[in-house]
A and B are shown apart, each in its own frame.
Chain A
Amino acid sequence: MSLRGAAFIAGAYEHPRRDIPDRTVPQIHAEVAVGALADAGLSMADVDGFYCAGDAPGFGAVSMAEYLGLRCRTYDSTETGGSSYLVHVGHAAAMIKAGHASVALITLAGTPRNGGAQPGSSAAAPAPESEFENLFGVPIAANYALAAQRHMYEFGTTSAQLAEIKVAASLHAQHNPHAFLRDVVTVEEVLASPMVADPLHRMDCCVVTDGGGALVVVSPAVAASLPRRAVKVLGQGEAAKDTNRGRIDLTHTGAVWSGPRAFEEAGVTPADIDYASIYDSFTITVLMTLEDLGFCHKGEGGRFVMDGGLVAPFGRLPFNTDGGGLCNNHPANRGGMTKVIEAVRQLRGEAHPAVQVPDCQIALAHGTGGSLSTRMMSSTLILGQPDA
C-alpha cells in the first residue's frame, strides 16, 4: 500500500514563544492544537485521530486527549524522540487511507528552559545498554562529536565546513521575528565559539527552547472542503539505526534507509526537492543527513554545504528557512515538528519573502530522534503541492 496522496496536511502551527514560565506543558499542547486546527479551518470536535509522543505527560495519548476533550477513533503515542512527529504524519496517513480517521491532530510541547525534561534525559526504566554507555560521561553533544570526529577522519570534513551550516541557518533566522537567535554569524565566529566536545563548538549546537507545535493531517475529501491550501503527503519512510550488534558505523544515519523508502513512495528523487527541512540538533547531523538522503555522495557533504549551498532562496538546496534548531527553535529538545511546519510554509508560499523558494513544488522534511552515535530513529517525509 502506498501512502502517496492518501492524506494532506491542512493545518500547521508553531508556538510563537521560546521561554514559557507561565504555562504547564498540557496548556501548551492545547494552545498549539487550537492554533493548528484554526489554521486548517477546523475545530477540536472534528478531530477523530490523536497523535503525541514522549513529551506529552500522562498515560500515552490518553491523558492529553482527555485534557483536550477529544473523542477519537484512533490514538497513537509512538515515541521516536525528535523524529516522532514525522512518523506520526506517516502513521496518520495510513489510518486515514484505511478509513479509520479523517482528521488527525499531532501535538508537541515542552518547557526545558523552565524545569522541563533536559536533553537526553529519560524517566523510563534503565535500558539494557545503559550501564555500558552511561558510566563514561558522554553528554549529548559528545555523542554527536564522536560521529563528527570519525567523519573528519574518514572524509577530511572540516570544522569550517560544519560552520557553514550554522551560518546558513543564521542568515535565515534574521528574518524570523520569533527566532531565539536572530544575529547573523560568520564561519570565524562559529570557530571562535567555545569548544563543547571536540570537534563541536557551542555554535555547532542547537538552541534549547520552550514551546511547541502542531499539525493537522486530513483525508483528501476533508482537504478539498477547506478554505486553506493543504499540502499533499507524497511519501514517508522511517528507519532505526542502532549500534549494529556492537559494530557501530559512525559515518551514517538512519536516513540511508528512511530516505529511499520515502523517495520511492513519493516517486521522486533528491533532484526533485525544491526545499528541505533537515534535522539540525548539531551541524554534523545536517551534513551526514544530506549525504545519506542522496543530495551528494558519502563524504562530500562538506563541499556540498560550502559557498552558500544551503542558503535560500537560490542555494543548491535551500534548507531550514525558519532558522532551524540551530537558531530558531528546538521545542522540548525535539526538532521534528518545526521541520514539518516550515516545509508546509514553503509549499504554501508563506515563508518569509526573503527566504521563500520560488515555485516550491516538492519539499522534504527529515527528523532524527535519539543520538547519532548510539541509537536513533530517522524519518523522512516528502510533501508536495495538491497537484503534485
Chain B
Amino acid sequence: MPDDPFLPTRPPRRTHETAEFWDGCAAGRLLLPRCDDCHAYIWYPRLFCPHCSSPRVTYTEVSGTGTVYSFTVVRKGAGAYREFSPYVAAYVELAEGPRVMTNIVGVPVDQVHVGQAVRVVFDPAGDADAIPRFTPS
C-alpha cells in the first residue's frame, strides 16, 4: 500500500458480469476474464469475448505487473478528486496485454514516466471493497 493519503475511492457498482472481478480486488487478487475458447484476456471485464464472440469466460488471476503506457498529472480534479490534485491518471499495459485505466500512486507525481515498471495495489473502498491502482515496482 502507498503511504501517501489514499486517492478517493467508493465501493464499485457490481453487476453479475463484474462481481467476480471486484471480489478478487477485495481479496487482494487481480482477476481478469479469460476466454475459454480463444484464451484471450478480456478487458474491460465482461462475460462475453469480444475477440471470438464466445460466452464461455472464466476469471483468471494475472500477474498484476505491467508498464506505464501513458499518464497525465491531473492538476484540477473534479468531484471527489477535487481535493486530491495533483494526482496521476494513467493507462497501464499489463504483462498479459490489456491496457487498463488507473492511477499511479505511492510516488511523487513528477517521478512517473512512460515505460515505468509498475505493480498493482488495492486501495480500500468502503468497508469490504477495494479498487486496483498501480505503484512503481
Contacts and interface: CB of A to CB of B under 8 A. Distances in A.
A249 to B, nearest CB: 9
Interface string B86-109: 010111000001111111000000
A128 B17 CA distance: 9
B102 A136 contact: yes
B137 to A, nearest CB: 19
A248 B100 CA distance: 9
A18 B119 CA distance: 47
A138 B74 contact: yes
Contact of B71 (A130, A149, A196): A149
B29 to A, nearest CB: 17
A150 interface: yes
A282 B90 CA distance: 19
Interface residues of A, number: 36
A246 B70 contact: no
Contact of B98 (A136, A148, A200, A247): A247
A133 B9 CA distance: 12
Contacts of B80: 137
B75 interface: yes
Contacts of B79: 137
A66 interface: no
Nearest to A250: B70
Interface residues of B, number: 47
A196 B99 contact: no
B122 interface: no
B13 A131 contact: yes
B73 A137 contact: no
A246 B44 contact: yes
Nearest to B50: A245
B75 A246 contact: no
B44 A132 contact: yes
Interface stretch (A46-54, A139-147, A226-234): A139-147
B44 A197 contact: no
A320 interface: no
Given A132-B101, A138-B74, A146-B72, A246 B42 contact: yes
A302 to B, nearest CB: 17
Contact of A139 (B76, B114, B131): B76
Contacts of B59: none
Contacts of A148: 72
Given A131-B12, A131-B13, A132-B101, A137 B70 contact: no
Contacts of A195: 73, 75
Nearest to A129: B44
Interface string A183-209: 000000000001111111000000000
A373 interface: yes
Contact of A243 (B44, B70, B74, B89): B44
Contact of A150 (B7, B70, B74): B70
Given A135-B9, A142-B89, A153-B114, A247 B75 contact: no
A246 B41 contact: yes
Interface in B15-63: 15, 17-18, 40-46, 50-51
A155 B94 CA distance: 23
Nearest to B97: A247
B75 A137 contact: no
Contacts of A373: 70, 91
A112 to B, nearest CB: 14
Given A137-B79, A137-B84, 5 more contacts: A128-B15, A131-B18, A153-B70, A198-B73, A246-B99
Interface of B: 7-10, 12-13, 15, 17-18, 40-46, 50-51, 69-81, 84, 87, 89-91, 97-103, 114-115, 131, 133
